[in-house]
A and B are shown apart, each in its own frame.
Chain A
Amino acid sequence: MKVHVDMNLCQSHGECVVVAPDVFELGDDDVLRWKEDVPEDRRAEMEAAVDACPMMAIRLED
């Protein structure tokens, strides 16, 4: 699946980093970086990241 983050919405809360630190990380500039391709067997975890984001900035695509 593809992980999209709308960087116009992201405010670097880091909730997604808490959920999946190997997929999402904050750089030294506090800007989010993430892996766009995540194996399908981690869908529940990615959905948890979607839910955790206070800005509703994360979207998953099949």
Chain B
Amino acid sequence: MERVVVVGASLAGQRAAHSLRGGGFDGEIVVLGDELHPPYTRPPLSKEILVGSQLVSDCALPLRDLEVDWRLGKRAGGLDRATKAILLDDGDAVGYDRLIAATGVRARPWPGPGGELRGVHTLRTLDDAAALAAELSPGRHLVIVGAGFIGCEVAASARKLGVEVTMLAADPHPLLPLGEMIGGWAEAMHRGQGVDVRCDCAVVALRGNEGAVTEVELGDGSSIPADAVLVAIGAVPNSEWLADSGLALDPGLICDETMTAAGDADVLVAGDLASFPHPHRPGSHRRIEHWTVAAELGALAGRNALLEAGERVPYAGLPYVWSDQYESKIQSIGSPGEADRFEVLESTADRGRFVVLGLLGERPVAVIAVNAAKRLNWYRRNFSQLDDRETIGRLLAAEDSVLGPPTEVMA
């Protein structure tokens, strides 16, 4: 094997390249990236970059001196597996012996009328963050369509900057996958910070005047005035370049637990693009758009690309995700979106810090901590032992750093 090509130069691609070299590969490593920026980390884009507490240069991912051929501004347009070549949009082709697909996702664009208006933004890239930051002056009115992690984090950043914010949730509460308890807590927090949060809200259209957005039209016929709009309604995989490759797409790239694409041992996948076997639902696949998972999958794909199919190592990570909003930190492990109920496990008396368990039937599937990093870390290290509610109770009884007995988190 002489050349491994990584398509995608964000976190998963960077980790794949490091892991290939770290695993002893002495051949050629080529990384193709469609952006011109050197690889960067994205979490600060909704927070520190918007409020100005970090610079763009602070987001650069370390590129160690590993003799990796970074080719930036190169977009993959197709894959010819018969000749083992990646076809670039500029007409060039790059041959590979093994390929790691890490083209990630892009922000889901506004599907209704008005998406082309000036002042309508999505947030995924450094350029997106710079454009959004330029809108956030005190007293202006930002309407955020969507109340997931990105919507909530931008709401918090915008409030810090003195921007008037309306956040429109399509669901009964923000942060849908974290359940009603955390969602209700987050809603109250945002309201307390002056955000006009509207739930169960259908957005019909973005309306404008002379090409610039001026209002957001809702399903009930009312309109909300807007100087700028952030559309934060999720992400779609960048898999179009694989459409004619014969590989199975859903639309993520379907792979096994070793990140090997179904049907081609010379193609591996990492990061948000990877649609890998679901741990709780045999036969089904899922994508996870978390920083830590992208880093882990990138490193794993790099390591596995050096092995033959039968020797490859399966993903065994515990998905971790966090969100910082105002002065609060939300951290989650496991699969909260799978839980059918949540209960408080421990809490401080003032309810400022607490831990919530997500259960699917009787089975613990997630732990979510609010302002309780040390406690979350404890659950993380003990997660494999959390067999049921009774076992957790026993473990907590023997643990001396528990925050306190569970109290209702909603004030």
Contacts and interface: CB of A to CB of B under 8 A. Distances in A.
Interface string B33-45: 0000000010100
Interface of B is mostly: helix
Count class of interface residues, chain B: 20 to 34
Nearest to B324: A11
B373 A51 contact: no
B310 interface: no
In this complex, the member of A18, A27, A51 whose beta carbon has the largest number of chain B beta carbons within 10 angstroms is A51
B292 A30 contact: no
A30 B18 contact: no
B320 to A, nearest CB: 8
A13 B331 contact: yes
Contact of A14 (B18, B295, B324, B380): B380
Q: How large is the interface on A (under 10, 10 to 19, 20 to 34, 35 or more residues)?
A: 10 to 19
Given A28-B401, A52-B295, A54-B41, A13 B322 contact: yes
A21 B62 CA distance: 24
Given A14-B376, A51-B295, A54-B295, 13 more contacts: A11-B322, A11-B324, A12-B373, A12-B374, A13-B320, A13-B322, A13-B331, A14-B373, A26-B374, A27-B374, A51-B18, A52-B292, A52-B295
Interface in A32-52: 51-52
Interface string B368-411: 00011110110011000000000000000000010000000000
A43 B324 CA distance: 31
B280 interface: no
B373 A13 contact: yes
Chief secondary structure at chain A's binding surface: loop
Interface string A10-29: 01111101100100001110
Pairs of residues from A and B, 5 with the lowest C-beta to C-beta distance, nearest first:
A26-B374, A14-B377, A12-B373, A30-B373, A30-B374
Interface string B51-77: 000000000011000000000000000
B25 interface: no
A56 B320 CA distance: 17
B146 to A, nearest CB: 23
A29 to B, nearest CB: 8
Contact of B43 (A21, A27, A51, A54): A54
Given A18-B377, A30-B373, A12 B43 contact: no
B15 interface: yes
